[in-house]
Chain A
Amino acid sequence: MTPSFIGRLNQIVAWGILLIIVIPSLVSLPVSITNKTYLSFPWDGVSFQHFYNLFTSPEWISSFWQSSVIAVISSGLATSIGTLAAIGLWRLSGRIIEFIRAFLLLPLMVPPIISAMAFYRWWVPLGFIDTYIGIIMAHTILAIPMVIIAVSASLANFDLRLEQASRNLGASLATTIRRIILPVTRPGIITGAIFAFILSWDEIVVTIFISKFDVFTLPRRLWNGMRENTDPTVAAAAVVLIVTTLIFLIAFDFLSGRKDKETGPT
């Protein structure tokens, strides 16, 4: 079809809408370099004092470390458990497995506030409130379905006979998993790990409920800062959060792009 007037108009409107989607992700950047001490755009001058504040403030630094520790540990745990679960689900099949699979996806669809309630309810008697263990466990549980989805996707194209061949030729189950299954599913595992990391790094709703003073993640401090709504340091912190997410997405894009090149266009 030749591009008609309406077709052109459609393209322009679509880019306009995409712009509206992108703007909110970019607006923190100018605000974070304003030279004023309140939230504003840097019309009268640029200053990096808010980044300086951010990186010298003990509170922000400690939140930054806490978030990193929690995200690394919980994504590591979620990736190991999720990968094993995905391999297990893939080897078995049948009606019950279909049911379990649907069940495992539920944490992604249940509103986060309800997960937050549930964790809060159970973590209080267990003494997990406001501890690393509590938050790491909650984030791990929330991230496992993502890992399962990612790993299952890469297992879907894997020929079951390869595993049988390996076992036939005398490899033990452990060797088979390590030398045959894991290399094939590596892209899926990496994808799952990256998404699990971003999930924990950004998670706020559950964290609000199960943290108080001792454990104060970056999103949590951002949340408090936003409600007070005065200090551009919050914007600088938002920029840090965005940049971290972007780094991980670019890493993901790089890894999956390399995979596409290896297997060729399909």
Chain B
Amino acid sequence: MLYFAPIANVLFLGVIDPKPGFSNYAKIFESDTISNLILRTLKLCLITTFLAVTLGYIVSYAMVHTLSHIRRRMISILLISFWISVLVRSFAWLMLLGHNGLLNNTLIKLGIISEPLALMRNEFGVLIGMTEYMLPYAILPLLANMQGIDARISQASRSLGASSSQTFFNVFFPLTKPGIIAASLLVFISSLGFYVTPAILGGGKVQMIAEYISVQLLVTVRWGVAAMLATLMIVIVLLLIYVLNRFMKLSTIFGGASR
């Protein structure tokens, strides 16, 4: 209750502050700043989801098709980075992608570029940081799904004369669809709330909803707008969790994540 009462209070504020009614919600359409903010957040989250799930699919596919001791090593690498603070990881990208960062310096030394590339303080940097952070979230449900597929199904398909690409696209891939959907939803839900990564790698230029909320609260003290955005986020998250729950029991995801 200690948790839900304050949350409910925040949601309620969206309707009553500064004055009762839905004026805060009308801002979604009226204010360019806010509609741009929402669109930018959705766009970045969608791209992140796509990248993380695609790359995650490649990794989990390799994981199920390798020896079990190699798979264990791959999983432990994944879990270690999963538990390392988002702060530390964003900071690392800052050092890698920055103006005098490792990547730019190396490319200049190799003579590939003459001017440092703008790799951060823009959407590109934020996307890299977010995708990297989200990859374990994509891989764990995909892996759980792929490990549940009987390897003999693919073998049967091969022995009945299908080529390996036919086997993959007609047999294996359709079986992994629930995993793909679950992974996409999970990544999308988690990336909606990104605060640290855009703030550090975006350098204030790529604001997402979470960072905007914090500015509203700590700088301009407009609870109404912040609460409206928070409500919007919660509604989207709850809807997606509901859908997610139908594809994969939440507990299996967390069970997979905590091991």
Query: A residues engaging B (CB < 8 A)?
Result: 1, 4, 6-7, 10-11, 13-15, 17-18, 20-28, 31, 39-41, 102-103, 105, 107-122, 137, 141, 146, 149-150, 152-153, 191, 195, 198, 202, 204-205, 208-209, 219, 222-223, 226-227, 229, 234-235, 238, 241-242, 245-246, 249, 253, 256
Contacts and interface: CB of A to CB of B under 8 A. Distances in A.
B164 A25 contact: no
A222 B234 CA distance: 29
A121 B223 CA distance: 9
A191 to B, nearest CB: 7
Contacts of A116: 214
For the complex of A and B, list the 3 residue pairs with the smallest distance between their C-beta atoms, beginning with the closest.
A111-B193, A14-B62, A118-B6
Contacts of B189: 109
A21 to B, nearest CB: 5
Contacts of B62: 10-11, 13-15
A21 B89 CA distance: 9
B196 interface: yes
B50 interface: no
Interface string B209-249: 11001100110000100110010011001000100010000
B160 interface: no
17 contacts: A20-B132, A21-B77, A21-B78, A22-B81, A109-B189, A110-B234, A112-B210, A115-B7, A149-B254, A150-B258, A153-B255, A205-B196, A222-B87, A226-B200, A235-B95, A238-B87, A249-B80
A27 B102 contact: yes
Contact of B2 (A4, A114, A141, A229): A141
Interface stretch (B25-33, B53-61, B173-181): B53-61
Nearest to A149: B254
A17 B56 CA distance: 8
Contacts of B164: 4, 6
Interface residues on B, range: 35 or more
Nearest to A153: B255
Contact of B59 (A17, A118, A204, A223): A17
A204 B86 contact: yes
Contact of A14 (B59, B84, B193): B59
A80 B67 CA distance: 40
Contacts, number: 198
Given A14-B62, A18-B77, A141-B2, 9 more contacts: A14-B61, A17-B55, A103-B4, A109-B189, A114-B230, A205-B195, A241-B87, A242-B85, A246-B80
Interface of B: 2-7, 9-10, 13, 55, 58-59, 61-63, 65-66, 74, 76-81, 83-96, 98, 100, 102, 132, 135-136, 154-155, 158, 164, 189, 192-193, 195-196, 200, 209-210, 213-214, 217-218, 223, 226-227, 230, 233-234, 237, 241, 245, 250-251, 254-255, 258-259
Contact of B217 (A20, A26, A117, A245): A117
A141 B2 CA distance: 8
Contacts of A103: 4
A110 B7 contact: yes
Contacts of B66: 11
Nearest to B66: A11
B3 A117 contact: no
A149 B80 contact: no
Contacts of B251: 149, 152
Contacts of A235: 91, 95
Nearest to A223: B87
A234 B91 contact: yes
B227 A113 contact: no
Residue of B10, B87, B209, B217 ringed by the most chain A CB atoms within 10 A: B87
A52 to B, nearest CB: 20
Contacts of A21: 77-78, 81, 132, 135-136
